[in-house]
Amino acid sequence: MRRQRKAKIVATLGPASSSRESILALFEAGADVFRFNFSHGTQQDHLARYEIVRDLERSHGRPIAVLADLQGPKLRVGQFAEGRVQLRAGERFTLDRDPAPGNATRVCLPHPELFAVTAPGQSLLLDDGKLRLEVLECDEHAIHTRVISGGMLSDRKGVNVPDAVLPIPALTAKDRADLAFALDMGADWVALSFVQRPEDVLEAREIVGSRALLMSKLEKPAALKRLDDIVEVSDSIMVARGDLGVELPPECVPGLQKRIVRSCRRRGKPVVIATQMLESMTVAPVPTRAEASDVASAIYDGADAVMLSAESANGAYPTQAVAMMSRIIEQAERDPSFFEPAELSQGEPQRNSGDAICHALREVTRIIGAVATVTYTSSGHTSLRAARERPLAPILSITPNVSTARRLAVVWGVHSTVGPDISDVDAMVEAARRTALAEEYGRPGESIAIAAGMPFGQAGTTNLLRLASL
């Protein structure tokens, strides 16, 4: 079962997509990766969905990636005596450490670490940015503010502090429990929420080890100050435009999205564009034209994958949303000028054998008109380097490790398969020919280009380029 497109689709599972029938429909419509959002649902809910995904994987013979998305440190106000209050522009409002129910002049902020980093002149955003407060003065017990943009504020609404690096752990107690569960369950990728610094990623890496790959979600302005460092230590990046658009002016997000994609492309790290891509399809069977353009723009920019959140998790048209996203991607990739922006955002190959081979692989497939770029890989390194070059010919990745095959499901252009563990070049060529024919990449007599590493089975040793005929 091979997709007729190169960019991938991540679909979030939720109440609207929990049955075997609904998950199967999403997969057949085009979902390559399923996101399990640990901000919602119970661990048992996620386990039940995971077992369905793996059953579908076995029945269809196609590796499917599972992305466990951790909630991260959520900052929220306390509760109000009446459940909610109206804040009016120009009025004073205090956030303090008093656990008593709040009113129209104050509310508890049960996060003592915020009081140490808040300073006069900073902004506090409440309820996903719907309300804005300006800090007037603060001490270790209270933050006194003026309401700039008012509105209704109710119990437990979120707090964003865009002007400060927050001294909070990247992994909360809930995250650590969910992470242990996700790893035991068998998640292929773990998404880290609210990453602010590379140290946040390294902290998670110590726990995860080699059991999964790490995807850093960029949703705070502080992360952008150390963007390249975070990309360097991450296995992948998610542009989480929801929270990023809360803490930054909306007009800044498109340019930052392009900057993040360029940083990932230069380093050959997969990048996922997420949030509100087809938002209107939560209630309507078709998207707006602006949403279709948004998805296509991400594809033109060189994103590896685009993601559906509420659209597939609890929307009214989850299958239609995946199918629509797939059609938009296919149409963008058929554009004769599609490869031009991708080439411009591509960095220079590094001075090592892997980059040299995969850079040459791209040119060879173009010159000989190869029907497929075949990569043999143990760790996934060869396939990742080939994808970074954005070859014209589709990438057929063959690995003896099912975990590697699943992890590559998020990577641009890679059709991931599990194949035999080979020991010599002749066996490699024969397996490549058999797989390419079985996956209907071409007909007998047509050309393929093969990249691999010797000795076989040793990670990170891409050093072999071979041409063959089907």
Asked if 305 contacts 32 with a C-beta cutoff of 8 angstroms, the reply is: yes
Predicted local distance difference test score (pLDDT) of residue 356: 86
Whether 228 is in a domain gets the answer yes
Of 272, 303, 332, the one marking the end of a domain is 332
Same structural domain, 103 and 211: no
Q: Domain containing 362 — which CATH number? A: 3.40.1380.20
Could you say which of 5, 217, 262, 390 is catalytic?
217
Over residues 259-281, mean pLDDT? 96
Average pLDDT, the chain: 93
Label the pairing between strands 462-469 and 447-453. antiparallel
Which structural domain, as residue segments, surrounds residue 462?
353-469
225 is catalytic: no
Greater model confidence, 164 or 325:
325
Q: State mean pLDDT over 314-335.
A: 97
**319 falls within a domain:** yes
> Is 235 among the domain residues?
yes
Determine the average pLDDT of the residues in 276-285.
97
Catalytic: 275?
Answer: yes
Q: Which of 6, 35, 157, 388 is catalytic?
A: 35
Q: Looking at the domain assignment, is residue 337 inside a domain?
A: no
Question: In this structure, is residue 3 part of a structural domain?
Answer: no
Does 359 share its domain with 299?
no
Candidates 95, 152, 190, 227; CA nearest to 407 is: 190
pLDDT value of position 344: 52
- Which of the residues 275, 319, 373, 375 is marked catalytic? 275
pTM: predicted TM-score of the whole model, two decimal places: 0.91
Query: What is the count of structural domains for the chain?
Result: 3
Task: Report whether pLDDT(458) > 80.
Answer: no
One domain for residues 288 and 361: no
Contact 185, 137 (CB under 8 A): no
Sign of the CA dihedral 312, 317, 320, 326?
negative
Assigned domain for 37 exists: yes
Q: Which amino acid is at 81?
A: A
| Amino acid 342: pLDDT | 55
Q: Report how far residue 376's alpha carbon sits from residue 435's, in angstroms, rounded to the nearest whole number.
A: 12
Q: Which region among 28-32, 239-243, 267-271 has the lowest average model confidence (pLDDT)?
A: 239-243
pLDDT tens for residues 295-312? 999 999 999 999 999 999
Query: Which of 130, 160, 190 corresponds to the end of one domain?
Result: 160
Q: Are residues 244 and 223 in the same domain?
A: yes
Do 144 and 66 belong to one domain? no
- 97 as an active site residue: the answer is no
Active site residue 76: yes
Q: Is 234 helix (H, G, I), strand (E, B) or coil?
A: coil
Q: Which CATH number belongs to the domain containing residue 272 in this structure?
A: 3.20.20.60
Is residue 298 located within the same domain as residue 439?
A: no
Same-domain check for residues 178 and 292: yes
Is residue 213, in this structure, part of any structural domain at all? yes
Q: Residue 340 falls within a domain, yes or no?
A: no
pLDDT tens digit sequence for 215-252: 999 998 889 999 999 999 999 999 999 888 888 888 99
For 71-84, give the DSSP string: -----B---BTTSE
- pLDDT of residue 187 exceeding 60, the answer is yes
Average pLDDT over residues 54-81: 95
For residue 146, what is the domain's CATH number? 2.40.33.10
Q: Give residue 289's pLDDT band: very low, low, confident or very high (50, 70, 90).
A: very high
End position of a domain, from candidates 106, 135, 160? 160
Lowest pLDDT segment from 96-105, 293-302, 367-376, 446-455: 446-455
Q: Which of 74, 76, 205, 211 is labelled catalytic?
A: 76
